[in-house]
Structure 1
Amino acid sequence: MASLIDPLITFVSTHLALAYLTLFLAALLEAVPVIGSVIPGSTIIFALSALVPGGELELQWVFAAAIAGALLGDGSAFWLGHRQQQEIISSWPLSSYPRVVAQSEAFFRRRGPLAVFFARFVPPIRAFVPIIAGALGMKPPTFFVVNIPAVLLWAPAHILPGVLAVSAVHRYAGLAPHGRLAKHYWILAVMIGALVIWLVSRVMGRRRDAADPGLQPDQGKP
């Protein structure tokens, strides 16, 4: 994974306009059903956040790009499900992933609106719950009332670990607070951020399994 993302980080660090676009697309594609299960959107966001302390990227625009992408991705998936209703669940490409669809549907039926909130932090159902919520008749105002706060919490959980990790390196290793040094420490940012998200996902996953003892996580590729 690092061999694929490292060139991307190096490239966007010299094309800063593309960095914000990359953040936006990473957050958006991560929310798209099926595609979101294979796109390393979270890792890309972690990595790019490491460019903030060095001055390459502005924190407020990093937040804006990630939040906008996630909201658009979730909202588009929900509206697609809302328009197609349950027909979308049995249609391609969702029909090719019956286990994760069944898992997401069971989670939504069990938790209702709260499923939309918690699913944003739990892969792989993060990419499936919005479209299923729409397909199963969730009202649009209810969806967005729950989804928007979830995204506003999800973005800092993905961005701040990378920012704080590289800031700590700058401070305690005596590195310059500006310049392009931050791009060399994105792996550290990814590791710390991934640990935080993994712990949150682990706790939520255990609570989900405890509430739904018959629902086992999908161990294979979707």
Structure 2
Amino acid sequence: MLQFLHWFFHEARIWVTDAAQTHPLWSFPIAFVIAFSESFVGVSFIIPGTILLVTLGGVIGATDIGIFPGWAGAVLGSVLGDWISWWIGLHYHHQIVHVWPFRKFEAQIEKALHFFHRWGTAAIFIGRFMGPFRATVPLVAGMSELEFWPFQIANAASALLWAYVLLAFPAVAMRFLIA
């Protein structure tokens, strides 16, 4: 299993690098899909989204793509992924821990519930930057029946900063290395 994961991560990084370099206009949809998969509960445990976004940031820095399309795609993808995760939690909060694939992650959901109850709406913002909680905090916010607008404000604000951090730092580092 570990060999498969290593192979998958390696191939995914190569694909992101090749696709973004060959087709610079694809940086928006590539970033959108990666950020969505990283933020959507269930899928986020499979796709190495953070690694792939950092890789895309490096490609952006090594080319003349510009950061805005990738940043916009990552922001929109992560907002949508969290929004759908929140909606699932809101509408299926009683059944979630009994349904595959969520029953496999009952411990993470319990930790996220504790984290959310401790920090409230700030947990949405903080959770975006904490790998294990990234996709489960919006689900738990929905399970806790957090209202739409407080959730979306924290969701959008954290996505703006998160996407910038993951793309800008490797882009700047790459520019520095190749200068």
TM-score by length of 1: 0.71
CA drift at 1:42? 1.0
Percentage of matched positions with identical amino acids: 25
Secondary structure in 1 matching 2:88: helix
In 2, Cα distance between equivalents of 1:100 and 1:166 = 35
CA, structure 1 residues 148+7, in 2 after alignment: closer, same or farther (shift >3 Å)? Answer: closer
State the partner residue of 1:111.
119
In 2, Cα distance between equivalents of 1:51 and 1:162 = 8
| 8 Å CA contact retained: 1:78, 1:134 | yes
In 2, Cα distance between equivalents of 1:109 and 1:89 = 18
Secondary structure in 2 matching 1:33: coil
CA drift at 1:18? 3.3
Secondary structure in 1 matching 2:60: coil
State the partner residue of 1:169.
177
Structure showing greater radius of gyration is 1
In 2, Cα distance between equivalents of 1:72 and 1:7 = 23
Choose the corresponding residue for 2:26, options 12, 18, 27.
18
Gaps of 5+ in 2: 1-5
CA drift at 1:66? 0.6
In 1, Cα distance between equivalents of 2:178 and 2:65 = 16
| 8 Å CA contact retained: 2:27, 2:69 | no
CA drift at 1:56? 4.2
Output the amino acid matched with 1:49: G
State the partner residue of 2:35.
27
In 1, Cα distance between equivalents of 2:61 and 2:165 = 17
In 2, Cα distance between equivalents of 1:48 and 1:17 = 13
Q: Matched residue pairs, number?
A: 171
Output the amino acid matched with 1:122: M
CA RMSD of superposed structures (Å): 1.7
Output the amino acid matched with 2:110: A
Output the amino acid matched with 1:84: Y
State the partner residue of 2:108.
100
| 8 Å CA contact retained: 1:89, 1:132 | no
In 1, Cα distance between equivalents of 2:19 and 2:162 = 26
Choose the corresponding residue for 1:138, options 140, 146, 150.
146
Gaps of 5+ in 1: 172-222
State the partner residue of 2:92.
84
Choose the corresponding residue for 2:135, options 123, 127, 146.
127
In 2, Cα distance between equivalents of 1:159 and 1:80 = 28
| 8 Å CA contact retained: 1:49, 1:159 | yes
Output the amino acid matched with 2:10: S
State the partner residue of 1:3.
10
TM-score by length of 2: 0.87
In 2, Cα distance between equivalents of 1:95 and 1:53 = 40
- State the 4+ residue runs in structure 1 displaced beyond 3 angstroms: 53-56
Output the amino acid matched with 1:3: H
State the partner residue of 1:41.
49
Output the amino acid matched with 1:150: S
